[in-house]
Structure 1
């Protein structure tokens, strides 16, 4: 969850820099720079995920049912009053940090970057159609629609709400988060203005390089044969 959201934010910032600061981008967008960003995303995502590894426990309700839950007090004392209070505050802290860093901040970054990119592109009249603007709008809306139900569901868990709304939100969360896993990469990959042209050129270049290598190898073999003669 964290990694995918952070990568979408990084892509948005990259497009923002390309559109509004092209000279700086050409000078600084090196393979080393990109590798550092990717490594940083994975480290940050792993760090934010660690609390949910630490707090995960199995809980026996003494009725023959064992469930996997978060015990934010890191204790087997599920009924103690002090532990209940401590668990509540740690739960609130985890939910707040996850919401702010995993949803609100990335959403603001993506919205800001694409709004500025769209405005700059419109000022320069770089696009002949409205397709790129629609794609950017879909990227922002899809991010909000796909992830907001998840945080509503987590908020209901925090408030211990187990009403019909909780069950409906759980179902919606499963659908939207699963859909986002497929939709986001597809959106960013296949809606590029020149994707088909680039794809065809890449395929043609691959075949040309392959045939070129074959021809070169054949010429080398013929030269070697002539030298042997």
Structure 2
């Protein structure tokens, strides 16, 4: 899911070759269907190009600043609580790192959208792979958190609490390894290519239409559907158990993690729905015309921006929902010399292994 001006612009050159060699499909320009694909070049992309040049740099710049500051604060808080860090905190620390690494690539894509790719093919491969590695890692780490909660509450199995201390870290390492494997197409097929028609160089994939469709399916399944299904199942079972047990304290402890999952679904569902529509158009399952293509391209840019915004939402959720996270944040700021403005408040206990991101989250380990 490398950020694009428009995937159709990225693949426009290969589409043109495909059209010239295969005269079996057709484009509908406005109201009139073309009789032959060979008589109709790809649709002009002036509107979506101009939209992306204005929209993407501004959005990516804002997300870069907010995502770096917010996730940097989360990482600092969790690192400062190393002795009391729970398995959930370990997953959330890696999630913050994934979000930081993802937003670090956004300035490069902002330059690509506004002007052209000026950083060479090597950095194109690295930036594209880094972006997708952290896209996959963010979703899969949320799924890991969901599964950890599910085992501890529904089955009273403390997989990470009773196991070796490094077990949660090893799980995160496995997630990073899988994400690196899923990013192999970026290392192989991404390169800085000059487009003669656009008279600009962009970081683009160099493979045919079938490769584009396969990559989209991989991103949809591994980066969205599978993690979302795991999260939905785990939290449905968890909430059912907690409601039956009338564990109000535990329900409060679940607020943040449920909010994080809901935010993930709301941020990424629109983008994947638009990409699904675009893929069906590419495969001929939906009729296409230039007006529809332009609208889909703009919709992809807007919904992708909403998806990237998810990187900035998690720190806000921790700050507004996570009671212990706020306490630990104030403690960290006090250590750094900032005056404590909270007044007299309960300090988080360090005598037991509590999560620093939500109130009494680890109470769920005590059984039902």
Q: Higher helix share goes to which structure?
A: 1
DSSP-derived class of the 1:59 partner: strand
SS in 1 for 2:204: strand
1:44/1:189 Cα in 2 relative to 1: closer, same or farther (>3 Å)?
farther
RMSD: 3.0
Give the drift of 1:67: 2.1
1:183-202 matches, cutoff 5 A: 183-187=313-317, 191-192=321-322, 195=325, 200-202=346-348
Change (3 A) 1:115 1:9: same
2:201 aligns with 66
CA contact (8 A) 1:156 1:162 kept: no
Shift of 1:191: 2.5
Partner of 2:224: 103
Separation (CA, whole Å) in 1 of partners of 2:188 and 2:153: 42
Deviation at 1:33, TM superposition (A): 1.1
CA 1:135–1:32 in structure 2 vs 1: closer, same or farther (change >3 Å)?
Answer: closer
Instruction: Indicate the residue corresponding to 1:211 in structure 2.
Output: none
Which one of 169, 178, 200 corresponds to residue 44 of structure 1? 178
Alignment of 1:120-199 (within 5 A): 120-127=241-248, 131=252, 135=256, 137-155=258-276, 158=279, 159=281, 162-174=293-305, 176-187=306-317, 191-192=321-322, 195=325
TM-score (norm 2): 0.45
Deviations 1:91-122 (A, max 9, x none): 22221121111100100000111111111111
Supply the distance in 1 between the matched residues of 2:180 and 2:206 (Cα, whole angstroms). Answer: 20
Q: Hey, what does 1:53 align to over in structure 2?
A: 187
State which structure, 1 or 2, has the greater radius of gyration over its C-alpha atoms.
1
Residues 90 and 168 of structure 1: is their aligned pair in 2 closer, same or farther, counting only changes over 3 Å? closer
Per-residue CA deviations over 1:65-111 (Å, capped at 9, x if unaligned) read 22221112xxxxxxxxxxxxxx2222222211211111001000001
Query: Aligned with 1:67: secondary structure?
Result: strand
Query: Do the aligned partners of 2:192 and 2:204 also contact (CA within 8 Å) in 1?
Result: yes
Q: 1:18 to 1:164 in 2, by over 3 A?
A: same
Distance in 2 separating the partners of 1:10 and 1:129: 19
Matched with 2:141 is 7
In the TM superposition, what is the alpha-carbon distance from 1:123 to its structure 2 partner? 1.3
- The correspondence of residues 16-95 of structure 1 with structure 2, limited to 5 A, is 16-25=150-159, 28-63=162-197, 64-72=199-207, 87-95=208-216
- Give, in whole Å, the separation in 2 of the partners of 1:130 and 1:24: 18
Q: C-alpha separation between the residues in 2 aligned to 1:68 and 1:103?
A: 24
